Structure 1
């Protein structure tokens, strides 16, 4: 094969791996029955007029599966952290004891589990779309090599077959991650 096709395939594979990583990261932000620090990554707090990520303003501890202790580093930010947690999409009402905030995650209802499953499927589809987009770009690059007569048509066809195999492989990885997340969500 020409020098160009292995480079195109290598680049496509790196991008597909990145798409899978991003999809898995997105899955980790979806709440299941257990508390995790990933659930709090998207929460920003109004700290002296600047939106600041929660994890930069407070420490998080998980003494129990559905309980989180949020301890702000600056006690003056306590009410802002409390407001940010209350207004987040976690559906929680933190309890302020003066030194820290206790957040108890409500048990997931069947309806909420189904909503989260739909959300997981949407995120998985976004991952598959990114993988297919990478495939499309790599295919165009290979077609350009054939058009510019840098490689023969047979080499181009072989390269596309390898690209299709990569696309299938990484799409299946996303599907497996989705299946695992759905299983986690539906386990009561």
Structure 2
């Protein structure tokens, strides 16, 4: 395999691996029966006119499986944090204790579990689309090498087969992560 093809393949593989990491991280933001810090990762709070991530404004504690205590570092931001939590897709209504906010995550209903599974499937499909996009870009690069006669057609065909195998491997990893998340969501 020529250096050009190995470079294209390495680049494609690293991009596909990053896609897997991003997809798995997206899965962690989907709520399951237990509270975890990743659920709050995408929540931003309007703080002095700028959208600020919640984890930069407050500490999170998890005393029980479905209870979260949010303690803002700046007490003047408590109202803004409370509003951001109420408007988030977590479906919670924070209780303001003066110093902190107490969240009790509602038990997941069957309908809510189905919604979360649907969300997970959408995130998995986004990951698959990204992997296929990477494959398409790599395939174009290989075809360009063949067209410019930098490599032979046989070598180009072999590289495309290797690229297909690589794509299949990463799509299977996304499918496995999705199956694990679906199982996690189905567990009461």
Place the TM-score, normalised by the shorter chain, in its bin.
over 0.9
Give 1:12-51 correspondences, 5 Å limit. 12-51=12-51
Q: Distance in 2 between matches of 1:2 and 1:95?
A: 63
Q: Establish whether residue 68 from structure 1 lines up as the match of residue 68 from structure 2.
A: yes
Displacement, 1:102? 0.7
- Cα distance in 2 for residues equivalent to 1:156 and 1:93: 58
CA distance in structure 2 between the aligned counterparts of 1:4 and 1:52, rounded to whole angstroms: 43
Moved over 4 A (4+): none
Deviation per residue, 1:6-59 (Å, 9 max, x gap):
111000000000111110011010011011111111111111222111111100
Structure 2: 5+ residue stretches without partners: none
Q: 1:105 matched to which residue of 2?
A: 105
Partner Cα distance (2:47, 2:128) in 1: 37
Deviation at 1:80, TM superposition (A): 1.1
Question: Unpaired segments of 5 or more residues in structure 1?
Answer: none
What is the count of residue pairs matched by the alignment? Answer: 188
How does 1:85-124 map onto structure 2 within 5 Å? 85-124=85-124
Find the counterpart in structure 2 of residue 148 from structure 1: 148
* Distance of 2:135 and 2:50 partners within structure 1: 40
Match of 1:187 in 2: 187
SS in 2 for 1:103: strand
Structure 1 length as normaliser, TM-score? 0.98
Aligned residue number for residue 161 of structure 2: 161
Over aligned residues, Cα RMSD in angstroms? 0.7
